[in-house]
A and B are shown apart, each in its own frame.
Chain A
């Protein structure tokens, strides 16, 4: 980690805090904020031998990020004299494991939760306000979305870890071939461009199956861009039945016929990556993972592609982003150690090299990173950074809540679009989603 510390001098906003004296060390474990210094001083608080800390996270799409994270965990373990176990599993199984662990009151000490699951699993998560606020204070406040998904009631039930941004991935070469110099700015324009591209044998690809990320990242923003949203400010009155929502569904269905690859109904999060890299689609909504894998394995595709912001609709430009945050589980017997670990890996000294290794695949949860040089080193990646400003939380315009995650988990919004694609009339699809949301929010 030493190399990175040197590199980041220009950008180093945080004053180094070296106020800890020997006397403060004992108290340091309780105040938490001082921990990295304790560790650096080599005066780690003693944990019983054989103490194990178990962290569950999803398998990262950028392997380099995971490799570094595991190294960091090992280092932490060494310094604290404990064993840190990092378990990585597929993202679709994280919820299952979290629920099961809470029921069984046994399992990982820290779970990296997606989206607003801290709301859904609020009863199982310990209060981590001290850690979350310390980091927020240090790193220039959290983005609204990160806060919305991890702050429940009056406390932080998870410490925001990062935001996964999806924007438009497209093939510059084919776009030029089709006679367009830049990526379309609105959904209407995208339809025109996509139609041309499809006629050339390069359709737009988008998945509408039951999968955690990509279908949601397309459908929610589309609905929002046309003025539709799930629920009113009070979080109770369902508001989806609007002209705007209907327009979005209609346009999406029309685009399906005009410009989409018809395989998309059964795609999952990985299918569009494969199709894009295999050269069978020209445009898709995705994270930066296509680009990264491309650079490594399909250099021609990586060279020919670029990223652009999500299209705009009459109501604006929006993003649904998957947030990740570290929750300390209430049943854990190592809560203190768990918090210290989170505090350690969220500290700039650990987080920065990780962020760089992830090459802007994940947006840090705090604002201080916005001007980090990693964002502009490769201009193709800059659109990801800017997207966070237009991010909206699930269950907008209501407050973030477990009900919004229920709607997400049941794929109500995605299926509303998918139903219409499958041939149900747009009105009927909307009515269906309206009914489902009423059941969820009305209860």
Chain B
């Protein structure tokens, strides 16, 4: 991806002036890329184009629809549930990502300081991240059950609450509960990856900073944070992609309720498409996520590349 972007015209120009060796290299590249291209072309590109068509049509399940232009998007724009889901999604993504980064960073720093147990801790910590989301979310649903909640019991026994907390009930609480489950699931990925990043920073850098009289806090912001930036951006990138399009967690935990307090774009689009059979509108709802995600990711990719070329290159 470091390759400078070149317009089509430039590409053709190069095509014409290419030498035999170059041509052989291109052919080789083409052959190598072919399997991936076939798979992606068949199972993503075609359905994607078809999905875009659906979003511009009034297709309902079982019959091919007519072209209706941007009508579906217009309808969604005026739909208060959709707007709510969009707000929820943005808030959910932002809050969950920031929390995961903060907690993950702290845990990574602590682990980096630890002498023993590192292996076992690292291995067991990853469990939430690798276990299928629906399965662990079911466990959370049971832990947060209003009548049988162990979480309430623990908090009550510790004297932290006097009445039960209705984790998935109130409009604000429900969304936060969903966010917390996401944070629980995603933090290990942040922590382990950031730890991997931390271990590549040589101790001499810190020693130099210490000699300059920097305290731990200053050392973190002046040394660790900037050096970790590339790693941080990469984990953020993946977290944002997955969190923004999150579906399973809400589908299992609340179904978007109560009163749409926890509906995300993915769950609402799914509800429209599947539960009401309006495939066109459902596709429009899903597609609405794409440009936003695309822009966020484009920005992140750009940022990663910029820091990449700014920092001293490793390896090649």
| A contact set with B: CB distance below 8 Å | 92, 95-96, 99-100, 102-103, 120-124, 208-211, 261-268, 271, 274-275, 278, 280, 330, 402, 405-406, 409-411, 414-415, 418-419, 421-424, 432, 435-436, 439, 443
Contacts and interface: CB of A to CB of B under 8 A. Distances in A.
Interface of B: 60-63, 75, 78-81, 144-148, 164, 166-171, 174, 254-261, 271-279
A124 B62 contact: yes
A265 B170 contact: yes
Contacts of A436: 79-81
Nearest to A432: B80
Given A95-B274, A99-B274, A209-B254, A439 B79 contact: yes
A274 B149 CA distance: 13
A402 B148 CA distance: 38
A120 B167 CA distance: 34
B171 A95 contact: no
Contact of A120 (B146, B174, B276): B276
Contact of B166 (A92, A263, A418): A263
For the complex, would chain A's binding face be called helix, strand, loop or mixed by DSSP majority?
helix
Contact of B258 (A95, A210, A439): A210
Contact of B271 (A123, A209, A409, A414): A409
Given A103-B279, A266-B167, A432-B80, A208 B258 contact: yes
A95 B282 CA distance: 14
A409 B276 contact: yes
Contact of B62 (A102, A423, A424, A443): A102
A360 B136 CA distance: 37
Contacts, number: 132
B43 to A, nearest CB: 14
Given A280-B147, A422-B261, A123 B61 contact: yes
The 8 closest A-B pairs by CB, nearest first: A123-B62, A263-B146, A210-B257, A266-B168, A210-B255, A265-B169, A409-B275, A418-B259
Contacts of B276: 120, 402, 405-406, 409-410
A266 B174 contact: yes
B147 A275 contact: yes
B81 A422 contact: no
Contact of A211 (B62, B255, B259, B261): B255
A197 B164 CA distance: 19
B63 A123 contact: yes
A443 B65 CA distance: 15
Contacts of B275: 95-96, 99, 409-410
A271 B145 contact: yes
- Identify which of B81, B144, B148, B169 gathers the most chain A CB atoms within 10 Å of its CB: B169
Contacts of A411: 257, 260
A123 B171 contact: no
A385 B168 CA distance: 35
Contacts of A419: 259
Contacts of A275: 146-147
B164 A263 contact: yes
- Identify which of B63, B257, B258 gathers the most chain A CB atoms within 10 Å of its CB: B258
Contact of B255 (A92, A262, A278): A92
Given A410-B271, A436-B80, A439-B75, A209 B255 contact: yes
B305 to A, nearest CB: 40
A417 B26 CA distance: 64
Contact of A422 (B164, B170, B272): B170
Nearest to A405: B276
Given A123-B63, A266-B168, 8 more contacts: A210-B254, A211-B255, A263-B164, A266-B146, A266-B166, A266-B257, A415-B257, A439-B75
A402 B277 contact: yes
Nearest to A262: B166
A280 to B, nearest CB: 6
Given A103-B279, A263-B164, A265-B169, A271 B147 contact: yes
Contacts of B261: 422
B62 A122 contact: yes
A91 to B, nearest CB: 12
Given A95-B275, A120-B276, A409-B271, A263 B63 contact: no
A280 B279 CA distance: 42
A415 B174 contact: no
